[in-house]
Amino acid sequence: MRILLTSFYILTFTRILSGQDIDANSETITDLSLTEPDNQKETFYERVGLGNKEYKKVLTGFLSTTLSGQETKTTGGFAALNIEEGSATFSPSIILDNNNIVSTELRAGVTDGITSIFTNNKLNTNVSLDFQYHIINAYKEENSLSYNNSDNLAKEFEKDKIIKDNKVLLSKLQNENLLADAANKINEIKLQIHEASLEIEKNDETVDQLESIGLHIKDLDNKINLNEHLIIEKKKEIGMLSPINKRKEILEGEKSISGWELEILNSIKAKKILKLANEKIGVLKIKMETLENKIKNLNDEISLYQNPIYVIKEIESIRNKEREELRKIDEKYPIFVTGINISWFTLGYGVKNDAFFYYDPDVSFSGQIDKKNSLSQEFRFQWYRYSFINSRNNIDENGKVISSKKTVNFFLVNGLTFGLDNNLFELSTIQIKDSSTSTFENNNREFANEVTAYTGVPFEDNLSKLSVFSDLYYYLYQNKLAIHVFPKHVIQSKNKPLTQFTAGIFFAFKNKELTQTSPINVEVFYEFTDIFKTTDNNFRLTERNNIGLRFTFPINFQPFNY
């Protein structure tokens, strides 16, 4: 049996490790290589126009679809509910500048919809905390990514415009010559104010000269009205003269009228000069007020730019606005990933607390039920390989098959863990019911308290443990389901080596938009709990098993630094 299993592992992993590279024949598909060119400091996604956020989003989005409740630790940001274990998982991630990822995973039991970590300042049972450091080589030749870039040009054009506009704003805030430029503008405006004040003085002198000889606009209006009245009266007098005296009087009257008309013309001219001078003075005063406001605004601007708190807030505001605008563009032009082929290493450390009741029938009655706490910890080393080709990669926009090359879609994890654990898995659970009776005036009342306790072999803690495992998801039927294989070999002090093997069919149901976020993961599994019968039991191989359904509800969210 061991030879058969070993042969199966070798054949399976050899087939996978020699799998095909991603093939993209469609014109709308971009094939991205992760090879680092000579003297090139850019990452592969920067060279082809795919941003760091988009790349991480692609990776975490794909990995969230394979959350199945197994002990394999993945990257990405997600929360999940596991019905089989009755536990909830929360796993945030932090994306580092070197493209590596630091992630944590908190898992705790769920009771009545509530996940309690501490109760009465005591750590609850089935609570674990895990830290992982994922080392991703962005320049590794074997790694690649394919995506549909039909709208990439329009998307990049809009992004470039936003980035360039914001660079102008940022350069304005961070320009050392900004204050000097503002000071020069103030000096130019002061010169304009000085020139305007000279014009005002010149017009004021004109007004003063005219007014000094009694030429006020009001007096000029009165004089014009008076002369016009005298002219009318004089013309009436001439019309009433007798023919004998008419010629002489007419000549004298016309002479008077001419004098009055000349005074009217002079008054109108003087009035016009005064009016224009006053209007010009008003315009110049408005201009001076406007220029003075400009100086005030420039001084305020200089004061703001000299204030580091204001500059920092403005820079942060511009960057936040840019992030929001770029996010909206990403939503406007979503990337359709057609394939991903990537591998990476992970270093991890985990700690878990088990609080439970232990039943020992061999001790006194009062001490048979003992509450125990066991703290387990482990160090983990894992290697991941993820290869996924979307079926649309081989079909053009008209639905015609343009490539019949067979693809191998899988998610593989090989892992090694070592640490301190307990033998809780060897114990069985029983229900224990304690009852008491209260009697009052011939009335009896019975009280019952029921607990779940572990029993069987003696409980042992702080046992050295070494585990070797592989976790494989092999996708079939255009990635609608996957075959799941999970062999595991455990070596624990004071116990014989234990070999387990799980096989199942994994369904990742999509939402109605067919995005990479999976609202529910379901697996039908068959687990051999002890293949080589190293534990003390009389069960046959087919009886040493665990058969059932495993449900996981992952909620994918963006990692930090997005």
Helices 243-305, 217-240: inter-axial angle, 10-degree rounding: 160
**Residues 364 and 454 reside in one and the same domain:** yes
Tell me the average pLDDT of the chain: 69
pLDDT in tens, 171-183: 766 665 565 666 6
Distance CA 248, CA 292 (A): 66
Reply yes or no on whether the pLDDT at 137 is more than 60. Answer: yes
For residue 169, give every residue at least 6 positions away whose Cβ sits within 8 Å of its Cβ, in sequence order, or none: 318
Q: Report if residue 165 sits inside a domain.
A: no
Decide if 535 contacts 494 (C-beta within 8 A). no
**Residues 383 and 531 reside in one and the same domain:** yes
Q: Give the residue with greater pLDDT, 321 vs 145.
A: 321
**Residues 546 and 425 reside in one and the same domain:** yes
pLDDT in tens, 494-552: 878 888 899 999 887 665 444 444 567 788 888 888 887 776 666 666 667 788 887 76
Q: Rounded to two decimals, what is the model's pTM?
A: 0.56
Give the pLDDT of residue 390. 64
Q: pLDDT confidence of 36, banded at 50, 70, 90?
A: very low
Q: Report if residue 446 sits inside a domain.
A: yes
Other C-beta atoms closer than 10 Å to the C-beta of 183 total: 13
Q: Report if residue 39 sits inside a domain.
A: yes
Domain residues for the domain of 239 are: 178-311
* Cα dihedral 110, 113, 115, 121 sign: negative
**Residues 457 and 517 reside in one and the same domain:** yes
3-state secondary structure 266-328: HHHHHHHHHHHHHHHHHHHHHHHHHHHHHHHHHHHHHHHHCCHHHHHHHHHHHHHHHHHHHHH
Distance CA 178, CA 301 (A): 10
Decide if 68 contacts 502 (C-beta within 8 A). no
Q: Report if residue 512 sits inside a domain.
A: yes
**Residues 22 and 142 reside in one and the same domain:** yes
Beta bridge partners of 528: 501, 545
User: What percent of the chain clears pLDDT 90, i.e. is strictly above it?
Assistant: 7
- Which CATH number fits the domain that encloses residue 208? 1.10.287
Give the pLDDT of residue 157. 81
Q: pLDDT confidence of 3, banded at 50, 70, 90?
A: very low
Decide if 94 contacts 134 (C-beta within 8 A). no
pLDDT in tens, 463-479: 999 999 999 988 887 67
**Residues 362 and 262 reside in one and the same domain:** no
- Range name among 7-21, 149-163, 270-284 with the lowest pLDDT average: 7-21
Reply yes or no on whether the pLDDT at 89 is more than 60. Answer: yes
Decide if 545 contacts 527 (C-beta within 8 A). yes
Distance CA 460, CA 456 (A): 12
Average pLDDT of span 162-166 = 84
- End-to-end Cα, the chain, rounded Å: 49
Q: pLDDT confidence of 361, banded at 50, 70, 90?
A: confident
Reply yes or no on whether the pLDDT at 553 is more than 70. Answer: no
Distance CA 336, CA 389 (A): 12
Reply yes or no on whether the pLDDT at 421 is more than 70. Answer: yes
Give the pLDDT of residue 87. 62
**Residues 214 and 246 reside in one and the same domain:** yes
